[in-house]
Amino acid sequence: MSRKIFLCAISNISSGHCLEDCRFCTQSVKYGADIERYYHKPVETIVEEARRARECKAVGFCLVTAGKGLDDKTLRFVCKAADAVKKAVPELGLIACNGTANVEQLRILKDHGIENYNHNLETSERYYPNICTTHTWQERFETCENVKKADLMLLTGGIFGMGESDEDRFSMLHSIAELDPISVPLNFYHPHPMLPLENRKMPMEEALDLIRMAGKILGESRIMVAGGREFTFGDEDYRIFEAGADAIVIGDYLTTKGRDPRRDISMLIAHGYEIAENCHDR
C-alpha cells in the first residue's frame, strides 16, 4: 500500500506588525523587511483561501497571526475567522498559530472549532537567546504544555539553519519529543537580506539527514516539512518523503511565495504517494 501524505495550507490573517525580535522573522518591525503588513485580513478572503486550499486537497488549514501572543482582540478575530471557515469548508481540520496562549484562551479557540494549535520551540533552550531576546524559550514550552491541558492537538517544531550546533538540533528534537505532539513542522531557514542571520543555504543532504533524525527521535509524530522546502530541496523535494516526512505545507507561506499546489500533487502522484483524505487518515 502506498504511503499517505498530508497537505496543509496556511493563511497569514494578521501580518507583519510584531514587536518581538526573532532574528529569522520578516514580520518583526525591527528589521524593516519589505513585506505586506495588515492587522486583519478580511474574513471573506480567509474563507476563499480555505476553499481553494481544500480544492487543492489540503486537509489542514492554519490561521496564523503575527505577534507575541493572543490578546482579547486577536482572540476574537481568530474565533470569527474560525467560525466562518468551519461553516464554509467543514472538511478542513483547523489549526491556530497565534503565539503565547494560556489554557483559557486555548479553550475558547477550541469552542470555535480549532482542533490543533501550532507553537514551535524554534530551536534549543540553550541557543534560543541567540535568536530572540524579547521572550524566553521556557515561555514557548509552557504554551505547548497549555495546548495539551486545553485538550487541543499540539503541533510543535522548529527551524534549522540559524547557526545552531548539532547538539542544539538534537536537544530541540528531544524537547519536542517530551511534548509528544501530533505533528512536527520542520522549517529550513530561508535567508532574507534585511534579517541579521547569516545568508546561508543548508546543503540538501544535511537537511535530509535532519528529517531522518527527527523521524527516529519522534517516532509517533507526523513529520511535516514546512517553510524552506522549495529553497532547500528545489525540484528534488520528493526526497523528503524518502527521508521520512509525511506532511507538507502547500501554497504560499507567511511572507514568501510557495509553489502552485498542482505541481506538488503531480510530484506526489508521480512518486507513488497517496494524498490523505482527512487529518485523521492513517
* Residues near ligand SF4, by CB under 6 A: 18, 20, 22, 25, 27-28, 66-68, 99
Q: How far is the CB of 217 from ligand SF4 (least distance, A)?
A: 24
Q: How far is the CB of 174 from ligand SF4 (least distance, A)?
A: 22
Nearer to ligand SF4, 249 or 275 (CB): 249
SS3 percent helix, strand, coil of the chain, rounded to 5, is 40, 20, 40
Q: How far is the CB of 143 from ligand SF4 (least distance, A)?
A: 11
Place of cell 522548529: 158
List all residues 6 or more positions away from 120 whose beta carbon is below 8 Å from its beta carbon: 140, 156, 157, 158, 159, 185, 187
Q: How far is the CB of 19 from ligand SF4 (least distance, A)?
A: 7
- Going by C-alpha positions, the residue among 227, 135, 220, 129 that lies closest to residue 179 is 220
Dump the DSSP string for 177-230.
Answer: HHH--SEEEEEE----TTSSS---PPPHHHHHHHHHHHHHHTTTSEEEE-TTHH
Nearer to ligand SF4, 67 or 157 (CB): 67
Q: How far is the CB of 247 from ligand SF4 (least distance, A)?
A: 21
**What CA–CA distance (Å, rounded) separates 24 from 269?**
33
Nearer to ligand SF4, 51 or 135 (CB): 135
Sign of CA dihedral 121, 34, 254, 210: negative
Nearer to ligand SF4, 136 or 278 (CB): 136
Q: How far is the CB of 20 from ligand SF4 (least distance, A)?
A: 4
- φ/ψ of residue 96, rounded to 5: -115, 150
Nearer to ligand SF4, 18 or 176 (CB): 18
- Do 243 and 212 meet the contact criterion of CB atoms below 8 Å apart? yes
Nearer to ligand SF4, 8 or 70 (CB): 70
Q: How far is the CB of 35 from ligand SF4 (least distance, A)?
A: 11
Nearer to ligand SF4, 41 or 57 (CB): 41
CA 189 to chain centre: 13
**What CA–CA distance (Å, rounded) separates 43 from 245?**
32
Q: Name residue 88's amino acid.
A: A
